[in-house]
Amino acid sequence: MKWTGFGRSVLFAALAGAAWPAFALAAGALLGMNAAFSLYAVGATAVYVAGLAPNLARGLASAFAAVAIAVTVAAVAGAPGGAALGAALALGIVRSGLLYPSRNARAIAIEALLIGGGLALARFLSAPGALGAALALWGFFLVQSAFFAIGGVRTPDAGGGALDRFERARRRALALLEDEA
C-alpha cells in the first residue's frame, strides 16, 4: 500500500492509531507496555516509510534505514520516549534525505516543522492507557500527512532518483518536437 499523497497519509494515520490497542493487548503482556510501544512506534514508522517509496526494493531499503536510525537513537535515549523520538527523526531523515530529496535548508525547515509539530501534538493528545497512546500515534502521523500538502514536493521516479532541471527541460523539448511531427 502506498502512502504517497495527503489522503492516503491521513488514512495511514488513522490505521496506525486504531491498530495500537490490539497490538498493546497482544504484545504488552509479553514485552511490557513500554517495550511494546517502542516496538510499535519503530514498526509503524518503518511501514510508513516503506509506503512512501516508489517501489518495493527502495521501500525495504528505506524501512531498514529508518529502523537502524530509530533503534540507534532509542538505545542512546533508553526510554520509550527515546524510541518515539528516534522513530520521528528516522522518518524525517529518510523522507527528506532519501525518498524526496530537496534543497537542504528547505528540507530541514519542513522536517523540523513536521517532526516537531507531530511530536508536540502527540504529547498534547497522549494520556495514560491505550486510548491515549492511540491518539498520540494518530496525531503524530496526521501531522506528517501535511508533507504532501506542502508545495514543491517532487515525487521520485521509479527508475531511481529525481531528474535535474536540464534533463526535465530536454524531455519537455523532445515531447514538444514529437507533437509537432
- Is 1 part of a structural domain of the chain? no
- Is 24 part of a structural domain of the chain? yes
Low-confidence residues of the chain: pLDDT under 50: 158-160
- Is 136 part of a structural domain of the chain? yes
How far apart CA 49 and CA 54 sit, in angstroms, is 11
- Is 117 part of a structural domain of the chain? yes
Q: Is the pTM of this model over 0.85?
A: no
Q: Show the domain range for 105.
A: 6-180
For residue 136, give Cα distances in angstroms to 10, 13, 15, 29, 53.
14, 10, 13, 21, 25
Question: What does the pLDDT look like over 45-97, one tens digit per residue?
Answer: 999 999 999 888 899 999 999 999 999 998 888 776 888 999 999 999 999 98
pLDDT at 174: 78
The number of domains in the chain is: 1
Q: Which helix (H) or strand (E) holds 144?
A: helix 130-144
